[in-house]
Amino acid sequence: MTEIAGRVAVITGGASGIGRGIAEELIAQGASVVISDVEREALQATAAEIGAVAVPADVSSLESVEALRDAALARFDRVDIVVNNAGVGPWGEIETLTMDDWRWVLDVNLYGVIHGVHVFLPVLHANSEGGHIVNTSSMAAFDPQPQLAAYSVTKFGIAALTEVLNAEERAKGGKVRATLLAPGMIRTNINSSTRNRPAGSSGALHDNAEMEQDGSPALQERWMTPREVGAVVARAIRNDDEYAITHPDWWWRAQARFKRIEEAFARYPVWGSEPS
């Protein structure tokens, strides 16, 4: 088990949404929390409201994440829990996407997590008790949807990174554990992600105005609050769970994809044998 009380946590994308919900829950359970974000005013306001330490950071920049690590260590002299949560969620069909579109989403969502693991893993290894990494993926890692190709590519990548990290740590008897957070419908502002798109880049990615959080006839989904997600994550940290699932009732979505894969395996004969 990973203790939360008395530990130091660093959370990216912590000014709002899921990041803030996780920060609030970890603080309530006795952790000291550093939150980072690219939106400086919102970051400072959130930190003051919830009792966290604010450190501005752009996760798409390795140097910025290194500065975040240095600030956290300077303040607390240790880091025990890292939540690589910052991300964007714009929409766009594959044939319309530009290279600027791909680079922006991959830089934030995928390289943001890669940077976090690369920078903080040695810090956690240096702890005698080890530590815990939470990487925010999505249900899109199990059930990719049209118009979310760039987003889904990053979430699949995060899933692979997290699973391999756990396998490597187990193989060498390491004390660092990782959790893949796969949220479904959460009440956040991710559907206005383009507000933080770098100046000068262009493309077809757009926010989805139809994703109303109160639900429309086409979107009768179960929405959760960020704080509810925080409770899911805290439980996963305490139990060293490899997966943190916010919507277990959505298993049918993942199961349908896995069924198609299983059927594909069954259609092909073992090499050298005769087809059935």
Q: Identify the pLDDT of residue 217.
A: 44
Q: Distance between CA atoms of 177 and 173, rounded to whole angstroms? A: 11
Q: Identify the pLDDT of residue 212.
A: 53
Q: What is the mean pLDDT of residues 38-54?
A: 97
Assess whether pLDDT exceeds 60 at residue 218. no
Contacts 24+ apart (CB under 8 A), 68-75: 68/10, 68/12, 68/34, 68/36, 68/119, 69/10, 69/119, 69/120, 69/123, 71/34, 72/8, 72/10, 72/34, 73/123, 75/34
Q: Identify the pLDDT of residue 209.
A: 62
C-beta atoms surrounding 25 within 10 Å: 23
Give the largest CA-CA distance in the chain.
Answer: 68
Assess whether pLDDT exceeds 80 at residue 2. yes
Q: Which of 174, 20, 22, 2 is nearest to 79 (CA)?
A: 2
Among the residue ranges 8-17, 73-82, 218-227, 254-263, the one predicted with the least confidence is 218-227
Query: pLDDT tens-digit profile of 147-190?
Result: 999 999 999 999 999 999 999 999 999 999 999 999 998 888 77
Mean pLDDT of the chain: 92
Active-site positions read: 151
Burial of 165 (0-12, 13-18, 19+ CB in 10 A): buried
Which H or E run contains 69?
Answer: helix 62-76
Query: pLDDT tens-digit profile of 91-125?
Result: 899 999 999 999 999 999 999 999 999 999 999 99
Quick one: pLDDT band at residue 220, thresholds 50, 70, 90?
Answer: low
- Yes or no: say if 132 and 179 are a contact pair by the CB < 8 Å rule: yes
| Three-class secondary structure of residue 258 per DSSP | helix
Question: What domains lie within the chain, and their CATH numbers?
Answer: 8-251 (3.40.50.720)
What tokens were used for 196? 């933080």
What's the distance, CA 244 to chain centroid? 11
Q: Which residue has the higher pLDDT, 121 or 195?
A: 121
Among the residue ranges 107-121, 203-217, 238-252, the one predicted with the least confidence is 203-217
What's the order of all strands across the beta sheet hosting 176-182?
53-54, 32-36, 8-12, 81-84, 131-136, 176-182, 243-245
Assess whether pLDDT exceeds 70 at residue 272. no
Assess whether pLDDT exceeds 70 at residue 244. yes
Q: Distance between CA atoms of 231 and 252, rounded to whole angstroms? A: 23
C-beta atoms surrounding 272 within 10 Å: 5
